[in-house]
Amino acid sequence: MSSTTNFKSSEAVLLVWDVQRGLVKRVFNEEEFLKSLRSAITWARERKVPVIYTKITPFPKGFDPPHFTRRMQFSQEELELQVSPGEGDVVINKNTWSAFVGTNLELLLRNSGRRVILIAGISTEVGVETTARHAYALGFLPVVLEDAVSSFNRDAHDRSLANLKSLLPVIRTADLDSIS
């Protein structure tokens, strides 16, 4: 790992981005993705790294931003988290592509002294990349877990990871074991 990923687990949180049933069933690598995600969650829990889940929360009817051309249609069941949060995990409802817009994530991170955000979830080229870039702009160190992120579109996923690798740390979940 590069020196940019030289941090302690006590400085990190694991952000599990939009791992909801209706999204998981549409990714190109569901089995591999879920295996890597569960591995990252296990790693975090064993080291007492906080796990924060984001959850798409659609705008109430009539309150969509005017530029929305299509409203996401999910059943209540499809909006449920695929991986159940554990005791002490945090779930953040959000309406945008950034985990920082309209939420208290930044406050939670600053209050807890956590500066590193390990990012897993769906979809790589939308919310994962947007949140990673926003985190970096706010002075946090985003670290994308490349085998624990996915998308409906493999090409877009691969392009996004290539983009992110030129800007910030992108590691595999197996690399987490080298973090103290």
Instruction: Sheet containing 12-17: give its strands across.
Output: 90-94, 51-56, 12-17, 116-122, 141-150, 170-171
Q: What is the pTM of this model?
A: 0.92
Average confidence score pLDDT of the chain: 91
Residue among 64, 63, 40, 61 nearest 50 (CA): 40
pLDDT tens digits for range 61-76: 888 777 765 555 677 7
Say what percent of the chain tops pLDDT 90: 77
Sorted by where each begins, the domain ranges of the chain are 15-58+77-178
pLDDT confidence tier of residue 3, bands split at 50, 70 and 90 = very low
pLDDT tens digits for range 110-136: 999 999 999 999 999 999 999 999 999
In the CATH scheme, what is the homologous superfamily, with its name and number, of domain 15-58+77-178? Answer: Isochorismatase-like (3.40.50.850)
> Distance between CA 47 and CA 21 in Å, rounded?
27
